[in-house]
Structure formats: structure tokens, C-alpha cells
Amino acid sequence: MTAKLDQRARPLRDLRISVTDRCNFRCSYCMPKELFGRDFAFLPRSELLSFEEITRLARLFAHEGVTKVRLTGGEPLLRRDLERLVEMLARLDGITDIALTTNGAILAARARAMADAGLTRVTVSLDALDDEVFGAMNDVGFPAARVLAGIDAAADAGLTPVKVNMVVRRGVNDHCLLPMADYFRRHGHTLRFIEYMDVGTTNRWTLHDVVPAAEVLRTIDASWPLQALQPSYRGEVATRYRYRDGAGEIGLIASITQPFCGSCTRARLSAEGKLHTCLFAAHGHDLRALLRGGDSDREIARELRLIWANRADRYSEARAATGARRAKVEMSYIGG
């Protein structure tokens, strides 16, 4: 299949699908409680894409070159019967990798069923092992031990190595770098440190809050020497390093200080069917209207090709070069 390229010669390879805009955490960098309170109006079920609609779009995306699908949210495991969607996606020709990003809160009860359905990988968000720090970050007082139990369950189900994402925020959890690295290097999982990003408009982001990836690297390397690894594939967002003593690897995701727009191969589908071609997009393309308006597969595929062919996104590079910022869709709505 000839690769379909965007305006910057980037192929379409990865599709991230948000299956819900709801979450049981209120992390300040994603869904701050003061804005996403008890009275917040989440999408009604009728506006969410059905599993059949999601699968139809995923099949069309596979025809356009997508090989990897990642289910996101909100918290995707809040979507009822998510295993059924995984089974449906696993049957699609061309889709070779089905992953899940979760906060891990209910992963322990679901990991085996998700793996049996065809899930191949899982990434768990965990910002600290200390309950006081972690509880402050998730803002619902959720204990780290229950997330760790979910990680163990995923590993037992064969979803290995589990990747663990830690968003690092200066003055909040940057003192947790070494305890996190120590724990996960001893337990055989890949810890990835993520620079605090200006996703959306509600997280009160400032550059002062960012702990640069280079600083994280120096901190870890001083305790456990590291060696750089080559990327596993084009478009890999994490810069990988292995521990020289053989105790696994870490990853650094440096969207702020080392933008990787030039190799981005991702498209993002929101829970109600808006296609976004950048994590920092302001607007999406309404695919649900096409699905429910009676458009044929051929017509929808033509629209997908047109959207990708016109894509020229480079927000992180532009922010780094000029400092320019703009209104953006919220991460809880589009997925990470």
C-alpha cells in the first residue's frame, strides 16, 4: 500500500480513539476539579460513537495505512463492555497493535478480560508512589497501591512490558523521580517521564512548571547510568535509554523542549466522532455526521484522505520557536 502523506511528508500510522470523555480522577493537568465538578455536563451516551461506528472507522483508517490503535478517554475502562470493542478491532485486517491508556484505577479487575479479547499493550498513568503526592495530583485521594495492583494484573495477563507514564511537574512531584525509577526498574516495567504540557486551556500551564527531559535524564543517570537506544520505529515519541546494569529502560517524552512534530504519524478520534490531527488542535472534523448521515465507506475514506493530505500541524515546534499559544481542545476530551 502506498503511504498517504500529509503536507510535511508524514504517513498516517497511528489512531488514538477516545471512547469516553468521563474520568474517575480529577488530575489538575487534565480535568481540574474546579471546572469538571459534580454538575459538569459530560456527553450523553447517544452522542458517543457506538462500537460498531468506531470499528467501521477503524477499518477505513486501516485501509489508509493505520496499523496501531490505542483506546483512550477520559478513562476508557469506564466505557461499559470495552472488551467487546477490543474483540471487534482485533478482527480487522491491517490492525496489528491494539493498546490501552488508563489511569489503572479499575485495571486489576479488567486486565485479563482485555487481554483475552485481543488487547496487546497497556500504558498506565502514575505520577508518584507516595500517596500524599499521588492523591494530590489525581485530586480524588486515590491510593497508588491500587494502581500498582492494576499494573501487576496487566503483567500477569501477558500485557508486558507495561509502560508507565509519569507527568513531571516542578515543585509537585519532581522529587519523586528516583523512587519511581527505582521501583519500576526492579519490577521490569518501562517508566516514561513526560514533560508537563500545555494541553487544552484549563491546566494553568506555565513554562516554569516544566522539568526538562534533559534534567530528568541527568537525575536518573547519576544514580543508575544510562545508554541511549535507537528508536523502535518512525514516529516513536519517547526517547529511549537502557540501564547499563541491564535493569530495563526508561523513556523521555519531551514535547516542550524537544518537539517531535516532524515525525508525528498520529490521528485522534474523540468520543463523539471528531477527528483531530494534532493533540493541540483547536477544532476537529465531524466524522459522526458522515456515519449517521448515510455516507458510504468510499465517501468517508475520501474525506479521511483529504483531511490527512491537508494536515500541516506543527504546534509544539511553533510554540518552541515563537512562544505562540492558542485555544486548544482539552486532553480529557481528545485523549492523550
Helix 131-138 vs helix 144-156: angle between axes, to the nearest 10 degrees?
Answer: 90
Rounded CA-CA distance 82/117 in Å is 9
Pull the grid cell for residue 321: 520557536
Q: Is 222 exposed, middle or buried (0-12, 13-18, 19+ CB in 10 A)?
A: exposed
More confident position, 1 or 98: 98
**pLDDT at 266 > cutoff 60:** yes
User: In this structure, is residue 9 part of a structural domain?
Assistant: no
Q: What is the pTM of this model?
A: 0.94
Total of domains in the chain: 1
332 or 280, higher pLDDT = 280
**Mean pLDDT for all residues in the chain:** 93
3-class DSSP state for residue 54?
helix
pLDDT over 70 at 331, yes or no: no
d(CA 193, CA 211): 10
- The predicted structure's pLDDT at residue 197: 86
Report the C-alpha gap between 328 and 326 in whole angstroms: 6
Cα–Cα nearest to 330, from 49, 27, 127, 6: 27
Q: What whole-number distance in Å separates Cα of residue 312 and Cα of residue 277?
A: 9
The CATH number of the domain holding residue 283 is 3.20.20.70
Question: Average pLDDT for residues 137-163, to the nearest whole number?
Answer: 96
Domain membership of residue 42 (yes or no) is yes
- Residue 305: inside a domain: yes
Q: What are the angstrom distances between the C-alpha of 167 and each of 100, 211, 252, 273, 279?
A: 17, 10, 10, 27, 16
Q: What is the extent of the structural domain holding 311?
A: 14-334
pLDDT for the residue numbered 166: 97
Per-residue pLDDT reduced to its tens digit, 198-232 = 776 666 778 899 999 999 999 999 999 999 999 88
**108-124, pLDDT tens digit by residue?**
999 999 999 999 999 99
Q: Is the pLDDT of residue 178 over 60?
A: yes
- Alpha-carbon distance 56 to 304, whole Å? 13
Q: How far is CA 3 from the centre of its chain?
A: 24
In a domain, 267, yes or no: yes
Q: What distance in Å separates the CA atoms of residue 174 and residue 211, rounded to the nearest whole number?
A: 7
- Higher pLDDT among residues 325 and 280, named by residue: 280
In the numeric block, which cell numbers belong to residue 182? Answer: 527505582
pLDDT recorded at residue 263:
92
* β partners of residue 101: 123
In a domain, 5, yes or no: no
Does 161 have pLDDT greater than 70? yes
On the question of pLDDT at 1 being above 60, the answer is no
Cα 209 to Cα 51, 128, 174, 306, 328: the distances in Å are 38, 16, 10, 38, 19
Contact residues for 138 (Cβ-Cβ < 8 A; gap 6+): 25, 26, 27, 103, 127
Helix (H) or strand (E) holding 319: helix 315-322
For residue 165, give the C-alpha cell. Answer: 507514564
Share of the chain above pLDDT 90, in %: 79
Residue 218 lies in a domain: yes
Distance CA 204, CA 102 (A): 23
Residue 7 belongs to some domain of the structure: no
Q: What is the pLDDT of residue 282?
A: 80
Q: Please give the average per-residue pLDDT across 240-259, as a whole number.
A: 95
- For residue 129, being part of any structural domain is answered with yes
For CA atoms 196, 170, 184, 136, give the dihedral sign: negative
Is 322 a residue whose pLDDT tops 80?
A: no
Q: In whole angstroms, how large is the CA radius of gyration of the chain?
A: 19
Least confident piece of the model among 73-77, 103-107, 259-263, 314-318: 314-318
Using the predicted structure, report yes or no on whether residue 333 has a pLDDT greater than 70: no
Nearest to 190 by CA among 166, 157, 165, 163: 163
